[in-house]
């Protein structure tokens, strides 16, 4: 028989796929999720959540509810978090409360009810800008951008005005916490690794890149960029892109992410470690928007390039997956073109409310877009 695994935030996009993968191999799954309206507009159990999952509706900051959720649990996958770099810069109390304090409540309970292992979802956002190489060949991990360059370009420059070239970012890169969301994610992973080691448990953290796939919250304007683009396109609107669209990102299918969580839950060598999880393929945001519009049958909806920057955003960040491959045995299995087609087919069956313009107004009103 498998384990009983608690998945906090497990009714969300990634959590539902993790739960499905756990059930498929014989584990029992309990989910603790508050079903917040921004992610779950109906506030009801999601149809995509497997019926064999035990769902407890409650807040990760509720000590009594967390204690109840941990009864009889062998391991924990901690996904519960407010998610959104831009929104975190003005909903500071909410993000800090859920992400920092919520994790503290979970571990306060785990001290008395220890489990075998806790795997926490961290984020590529903790790196800030990724790793770069200068014209002199030296690696730079302390890159800070000041917005658009005098010549109108957006890429970081060295002190002599020469462009820096992005290279793959390893787990060893120094964190550069540029948003409230990034700060919270770093707190979550540090609490996990510190307290599991202190109290006789095992711990691991996965620094996730841009997850996509069927089931993402289409009406949440602070979710993953592919879901935001899909919502715009489904409503006959052009995808909106900040800066010039040439930012480079790694997009990883949610099924690959779910598999990574299971590997981190099982592999003895994962204890005490952090791992980058992505696809290993880099693309510009503009390229992805064009591909997605084509996959949804609307190639006419070319991206709207705003030429403006959003507070907390980074320019380039692509993962080095060497550690995840060698230690976890992880690698991408899902094809990006097939994943986009699958996402387009799923979106066609949904009702997507486009709230991107509303979110942009929120950011602009607070001086977070310039």
CATH number at residue 57: 3.40.50.720
Nearest to 187 by CA among 270, 88, 74: 88
166 forms beta bridges with 132
* 79 located within any domain: yes
| 100, pLDDT greater than 80 | yes
Query: What pLDDT shows up at residue 219?
Result: 62
User: Residue 348 is encoded by which pair of tokens?
Assistant: 């066609």
Question: Which of 95, 132, 181, 212 is an active site residue?
Answer: 181
Q: How confident is the model at residue 370 (pLDDT cuts 50, 70, 90)?
A: very low
Query: What pLDDT shows up at residue 347?
Result: 82
| 144, pLDDT greater than 90 | no
Query: What pLDDT shows up at residue 357?
Result: 56
248 close to 284: Cβ distance less than 8 angstroms: yes
Tell me the residue range of the domain where 189 lies.
Answer: 4-365
Cα(91)–Cα(104) distance, rounded to whole angstroms? 19
Cα(257)–Cα(163) distance, rounded to whole angstroms? 33
DSSP H helices, 39-117, are 63-69, 85-88, 92-96, 102-112
Enter the pTM of the model: 0.91
Query: What pLDDT shows up at residue 276?
Result: 98
Longest pairwise C-alpha distance within the chain = 63
Q: How confident is the model at residue 52 (pLDDT cuts 50, 70, 90)?
A: very high
| 68, pLDDT greater than 80 | yes
* 370 located within any domain: no
Could you tell me which residues come within 8 angstroms of residue 189 by beta carbon, excluding any fewer than 6 positions away? Answer: 120, 122, 126, 205, 207, 274
Q: Which residue has the tokens 């073109």?
A: 337
Q: Which residue has the higher pLDDT, 93 or 220?
A: 93
Query: What pLDDT shows up at residue 226?
Result: 83
Nearest to 277 by CA among 73, 5, 14: 14
Q: Which residue has the higher pLDDT, 208 or 309?
A: 208
DSSP state, residue 37: T
Is 181 tagged catalytic? yes
CA dihedral 28, 32, 37, 43 (to 10 degrees): 60
Cα(359)–Cα(249) distance, rounded to whole angstroms? 22
User: Residue 131 is encoded by which pair of tokens?
Assistant: 């790793």
Cα(177)–Cα(183) distance, rounded to whole angstroms? 6
Average pLDDT, the chain: 91
- Residues 337, 342, 345: CA angle, nearest 5 degrees: 125
- Among positive and negative, which fits the CA dihedral 311, 121, 8, 232? positive
| 362, pLDDT greater than 60 | no
Q: Give the residue-averaged pLDDT of 29-48.
A: 87
Cα(328)–Cα(262) distance, rounded to whole angstroms? 10
If one counts the domains in the chain, the total is 1
């Amino acid at each position: 028989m498998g384990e009983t695994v608690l998945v906090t935030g497990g009714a969300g996009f990634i959590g539902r796929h993790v739960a499905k993968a756990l059930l498929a191999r014989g584990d029992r799954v309990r989910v603790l999720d508050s079903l917040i309206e921004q992610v779950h507009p109906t506030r009801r159990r999601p149809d995509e959540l497997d019926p064999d999952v035990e769902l407890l509706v409650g807040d990760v900051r509720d000590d009594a509810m967390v204690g109840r959720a941990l009864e009889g649990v062998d391991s924990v996958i901690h996904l519960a978090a407010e998610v959104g770099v831009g929104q975190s810069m003005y909903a500071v109390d909410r993000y800090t409360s859920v992400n920092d304090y919520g994790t503290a409540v979970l571990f306060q309970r785990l001290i008395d009810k220890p489990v075998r292992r806790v795997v926490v979802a961290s984020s590529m956002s903790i790196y800030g800008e990724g790793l770069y190489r200068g014209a002199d060949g030296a690696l730079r991990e302390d890159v800070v951008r000041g917005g658009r360059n005098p010549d109108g370009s957006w890429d970081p420059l060295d002190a002599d005005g020469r462009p820096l070239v992005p290279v793959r970012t390893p787990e060893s890169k120094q964190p550069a916490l540029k948003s409230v969301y990034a700060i919270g994610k770093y707190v979550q992973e540090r609490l996990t690794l510190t307290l599991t080691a202190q109290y006789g448990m095992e711990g691991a953290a996965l620094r996730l890149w841009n997850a996509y796939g069927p089931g993402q919250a289409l009406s949440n304007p602070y979710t993953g960029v592919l879901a935001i683009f899909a919502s715009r396109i489904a409503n006959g609107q052009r995808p909106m892109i900040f800066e010039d669209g040439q930012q480079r990102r790694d997009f990883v299918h949610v099924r690959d992410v779910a598999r990574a969580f299971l590997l981190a839950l099982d592999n003895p060598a994962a204890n005490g470690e952090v791992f980058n999880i992505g696809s290993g393929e880099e693309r510009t945001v503009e390229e992805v928007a064009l591909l997605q519009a084509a996959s949804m049958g609307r190639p006419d909806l070319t991206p709207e390039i705003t030429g403006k920057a959003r507070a907390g955003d980074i320019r380039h960040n692509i993962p080095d997956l060497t550690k995840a491959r060698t230690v976890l045995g992880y690698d991408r299995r899902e094809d990006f073109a097939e994943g986009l087609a699958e996402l387009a087919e799923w979106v066609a069956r949904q009702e997507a409310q486009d709230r991107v313009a509303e979110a942009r107004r929120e950011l602009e009103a607070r001086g977070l877009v310039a």
